[in-house]
Structure 1
Amino acid sequence: MPAATASAAVPGGATQRFVLEQSIQADWWALFESPRLNALIEKAFAANPNVEAAQAALRAAQENVYAQRGFFFPTIQAGYTPSRTKLAGNLGGNSPGIQGNGSVISTFQGTPASEGGTAPFNGPVIYNFHTAQLTVGFVPDVFGANRRQVESLEAQAKAQQFQLEATRITLASNIVAAAIQDALLRQQIATTTAMIDANVAMVELASRQLKAGYASRLDLAVQENALAQARQLLPPLRKQFEQNRDLMRTLIGAVQDEEVPAFELGALRLPEELPLTLPSQLVEQRPDVRAAEALLQAASAEVGVARAARLPQFSIDATLGGAASHIGQMFWNSGKFFDLALGITQPLFAGGTLLHRERAATEALRQAAAQYRSTVITAFQNVADTLHAIQTDAEALQAAAEVTDTAKTALDLTQRQHQRGYLDRLALIGAQQTYRQAQLNLAQAQATRLGDTAALFQALGGGWWDRASNEPTVAQTTADRANP
């Protein structure tokens, strides 16, 4: 790459120099020195729904990590079960309604069987029973299934964090692009309007000359055609302008009747020093590359989880409690009880389910590895494309400035020769249209150079790491809240 770009003596035509390994500031858009642009981006960070959704997704991923870490500890549960039971008295045998000598304990009428009488019915019995117990369960992570699951969830949370950074960078880049487009369309509309006004004046002049006999009907028709062509350019520009304003409102999370600031190409300063990052650093800086790396790590951990599911599973359970018919007697020595159990389970046959799940996880790992390589290659392409665009943009702006200068000179000469009668009206109209078109192309070249400069900051990662080193990230804030 050349050390510097071409230059032109127009706004936004300064020479840009590439500085190897220069740090990228987190608020790189401030290099354009536009307070309106800075305020718009800050407002978007606070109100854009996509940023809010990415923050919520990150917090949810962090909470899933904390939840999975809980499986490293035993579970403790306390239970209390009061019951009231009514037993039928005609169950026979030594049911609660019959004494050992056969007499019936009942409030019903009857003569005891020992006295020669019969007892037609045994009396029902109603009694209370209370049980309280403490249960402790623990699943030892013998083969690392839980460790790998935690690793997978942590990697997914890391991917969500980088997704949040990518969302912020993309949002800032889109707002910068919309602001540049707003400035470009304003200048194009102003140039086109000036072109229309000039043609209206020329039509009026040709009409007066026709009436005075100094111009033909053909001269008037040619001038009217030039006016119609100029007017035809204006509606599409106004359409693009309003749609771009709608886009700006959407990016900042505002409704469509909210006012947004206006921008001018001359008010946006072109950064003269551009960072240039080594490929090894680029892999560490791009949020999409880091997110793909985290997803690769998560896929690797899922292979370990699937493999551990085919190995023996261990569990330890213990129960301690008391039971009695009266609540105050539950923890007497006669009412206490305990239970201690060790469980070992080895899957023997599951129809190939566990084996194929492990194979599926292995293939998912290969997929994540391929996607990671694709993301890295695309990142290199983005940077290379942007660097080439910046070089050619400078050359295009230089050429557009030269064309505009020569077109202006040609228009001035044509106007003087037309006034002296050496050139006809067609030559004058052609010179005017050439100059106005050169102005439009110049504005487009200025805007393109500004836009590709912003694209370079985005392609190099946007400097999120500098902001993260000074400000707590959403992930850090969530972690502090969960672990005070």
Structure 2
Amino acid sequence: MRRVYSCFTRDLRRHALFCRERPPRKGARLQTESRPASFAGRAIFRFGAFAAAPVAASLGGCAVGPDFAAPAAPFEAGYVRRLSTGGQGEAGRVGGAQQLQMGRDVPGEWWRLFHSKQISALIDEAVENHPNIAAAEAALRQARETLEADAASFLPSATATDSVTRQQLSPAQYGSSSNSNSGFKTLYTLYNSNVAVSFTPDVFGKTARTVEGDAASVDYQRYQLEAAYLALTANVVSTAIADASYAEQIKVTQGLVADYRAQLDILEKRFELGAVSLADVVSERALLAQAEASLPPLQKARAQTRNQLMAYLGRFPNSDKGEAIELEKLHLPATLPLSLPSKLVRQRPDILAAESQLHQASANVGVATANMLPQLTLSATGGSLALTPTQLFSPHTMAYNFGASLSNQAFDGGGLFHKREAKVAAFEQATAQYQGAVLTAFQNVADALQAIKHDAATLRAQTAAESAAAESFRIAQIQYRAGSTTYPTVINAEQSLLTARLNRVKAQAARFSDTVALLQALGGGWWNRNDETPASRAKPTDLVATSPIAAAIRAQAGKTVDAQ
């Protein structure tokens, strides 16, 4: 018994760790208490330590199947061959060089690094209104409710029955063929009131492994909530930056269109005076038409981007109030955090979700193994049987029975064996999927680092190209007025200037977008905030909840009040 007790209490401690909610962190929006969700935790809270020990000892047994251990961080994994944490190149118009700080933690509200109140306001609205967050919280609560429901299997169940039966007995049941009265009643009313108690000790850990799998499912839904939060916030910032980029490109194009139109007016007047040829006028008209033709695609792209932004904010397209950011006023973070490769696997929600699925698959192997072993059931029934209601519960009408049964499927044609093997294969599948998630995470970080490095160089080159194109256009105009060059030279310089300005705007926006991509690839700092609300928490198991009929009455009463 000592061995059985020590083994089971060890399992209880393990399951208490699996099922405990993550406590809130510093700066959390919602401060909640940490409360154990496992049977062990509830036993200690409800019955006290001295009452919980005998209950645990009575359950007995150890959990069969593999004991899960979280995968270790990949050995010698890194982002690039040689990582330089120095300046990533001058950012020109966007405020200087960026540096990588290896080991620096990602802030929970990473979007505040851009110093934009408008971005912060958009994210607050998106988190408040987008249905993906509400759906993820509902899924998390569902997993927690399932955990609570399955953890109740550690305790006995009791069923109360009250019945009244009018029955006619045949004398043949007692070996008599006579129709005469044999001294006992063959027609009578029987009143019955009893309570049946049933308990299945978790001898081989089927319930323990089921609860362990439920706890892993809770973890999975918790990380899915963080993944939904991270994806939504990153999409809001990226879409706002894309909107600002399109707005700037439209502004640049409209400015050049105005310049082209003014130049065309001058040429037409000079043509009337005979100072320029018709070919020069036609060339300028073609250039103006090309510039004007480039506006509708940009306006279309921005309109669709605005529609996407409204969807992220939980609004309909006709609710667009015109909130926007300006690239020129957006702050590019001078320093960027870069998590150690060994910590990335504990920061990415998708990796942690894959680990939770691996944990659940491991627990399912234990459940499948326990299904192959005998199952012990203890039962007891006590109550009263009487011929009249007034005789119920009198000493001579009391009846009870106790029993124990041990059942096992002796032959099933290999069905349970293959079901267990299917769970083993599912565990191997989850292992491969976890490894794939880790590889993808490192690839995301590496891609973002390369993008930041080369985008800086691209912006420097595009800024220089814009300056050179503007100077070339100015010189071409002077030479044309002096008669030392032809007008096609001016046209080519104008086209180069338009292209250079648009490319500079795109490169400028790319630096912001790739900064967002890096912060998202590092996990978004969710561990430095608490994204849960009361909507994701399981309902408390109070005294009313332990009685199904009382709980149903309370739930129906609450539904009626809400409807009113």
TM-score (ref. length: structure 2): 0.77
Please state how far the C-alpha of 1:13 moved relative to its aligned partner. Answer: 4.5
For 1:33 and 1:13, how far apart are their aligned partners in 2?
13
**Mapping 1:22-421, distance limit 5 Å:** 22-85=104-167, 99=181, 127-260=188-321, 261-421=323-483
The amino acid across from 2:385 in the alignment is A
For 2:351 and 2:287, how far apart are their aligned partners in 1?
53
Q: In the alignment, is the contact (CA less than 8 A) between 1:317 and 1:342 conserved in 2?
A: yes
Q: In the alignment, is the contact (CA less than 8 A) between 1:13 and 1:394 conserved in 2?
A: no
Please state how far the C-alpha of 1:203 moved relative to its aligned partner. Answer: 2.2
For 1:482 and 1:34, how far apart are their aligned partners in 2?
44
- Report the aligned-residue RMSD: 2.4
Q: In the alignment, is the contact (CA less than 8 A) between 1:48 and 1:252 conserved in 2?
A: yes
Please state how far the C-alpha of 1:209 moved relative to its aligned partner. Answer: 2.1
When residues 337 and 448 of structure 1 are mapped into structure 2, their CA distance, relative to the original with a 3 A threshold, is same
Deviation digits for residues 167-217 of structure 1 (CA, Å, limit 9, x no counterpart): 101100000110100110000001111121122222222222222212222
Which deviates more from structure 2 when the two are superposed, residues 422-431 or residues 176-185? 422-431
The amino acid across from 2:124 in the alignment is E
Unaligned runs of 5+ residues in structure 2 are 1-82, 544-564
Please state how far the C-alpha of 1:465 moved relative to its aligned partner. Answer: 0.4
Please state how far the C-alpha of 1:222 moved relative to its aligned partner. Answer: 0.9
For 1:198 and 1:360, how far apart are their aligned partners in 2?
71
For 1:216 and 1:476, how far apart are their aligned partners in 2?
75
Deviation digits for residues 142-189 of structure 1 (CA, Å, limit 9, x no counterpart): 001111111111001101100100110110000011010011000000
For 1:44 and 1:232, how far apart are their aligned partners in 2?
35
Aligned to 1:478: 537
For 1:195 and 1:394, how far apart are their aligned partners in 2?
26
For 1:6 and 1:409, how far apart are their aligned partners in 2?
28
Aligned to 1:113: none
Please state how far the C-alpha of 1:3 moved relative to its aligned partner. Answer: 2.3
For 2:212 and 2:473, how far apart are their aligned partners in 1?
71
Q: In the alignment, is the contact (CA less than 8 A) between 1:135 and 1:320 conserved in 2?
A: yes
3-state DSSP of counterpart to 2:317:
coil
TM-score (ref. length: structure 1): 0.90
When residues 74 and 251 of structure 1 are mapped into structure 2, their CA distance, relative to the original with a 3 A threshold, is same
For 1:360 and 1:192, how far apart are their aligned partners in 2?
61
Q: In the alignment, is the contact (CA less than 8 A) between 2:88 and 2:452 conserved in 1?
A: no
For 2:123 and 2:459, how far apart are their aligned partners in 1?
27
Q: In the alignment, is the contact (CA less than 8 A) between 1:13 and 1:398 conserved in 2?
A: no
When residues 369 and 280 of structure 1 are mapped into structure 2, their CA distance, relative to the original with a 3 A threshold, is same
1:3 alignment partner, one of 85, 91, 97:
85
For 1:192 and 1:272, how far apart are their aligned partners in 2?
30
Aligned to 1:112: none
Please state how far the C-alpha of 1:351 moved relative to its aligned partner. Answer: 2.0
Deviation digits for residues 116-143 of structure 1 (CA, Å, limit 9, x no counterpart): xxxxxxxxx9743210001100001000
- Give the aligned length: 457
When residues 265 and 212 of structure 1 are mapped into structure 2, their CA distance, relative to the original with a 3 A threshold, is same
For 2:541 and 2:500, how far apart are their aligned partners in 1?
61
Please state how far the C-alpha of 1:8 moved relative to its aligned partner. Answer: 3.6
When residues 142 and 422 of structure 1 are mapped into structure 2, their CA distance, relative to the original with a 3 A threshold, is same
Which deviates more from structure 2 when the two are superposed, residues 207-216 or residues 372-381? 207-216
Please state how far the C-alpha of 1:482 moved relative to its aligned partner. Answer: 4.9
Deviation digits for residues 23-80 of structure 1 (CA, Å, limit 9, x no counterpart): 1111100111111110110111111011111110000001111111000000011110
For 2:155 and 2:536, how far apart are their aligned partners in 1?
24
- Residue identity over aligned pairs, in percent, reads 36
- Which is greater in Rg? 1
3-state DSSP of counterpart to 2:286:
helix
For 1:419 and 1:263, how far apart are their aligned partners in 2?
41
Q: In the alignment, is the contact (CA less than 8 A) between 1:383 and 1:459 conserved in 2?
A: yes
The amino acid across from 1:296 in the alignment is L
Q: In the alignment, is the contact (CA less than 8 A) between 1:161 and 1:475 conserved in 2?
A: no
3-state DSSP of counterpart to 1:285:
coil
The amino acid across from 1:32 in the alignment is F
Please state how far the C-alpha of 1:343 moved relative to its aligned partner. Answer: 0.7
Q: In the alignment, is the contact (CA less than 8 A) between 2:88 and 2:99 conserved in 1?
A: no
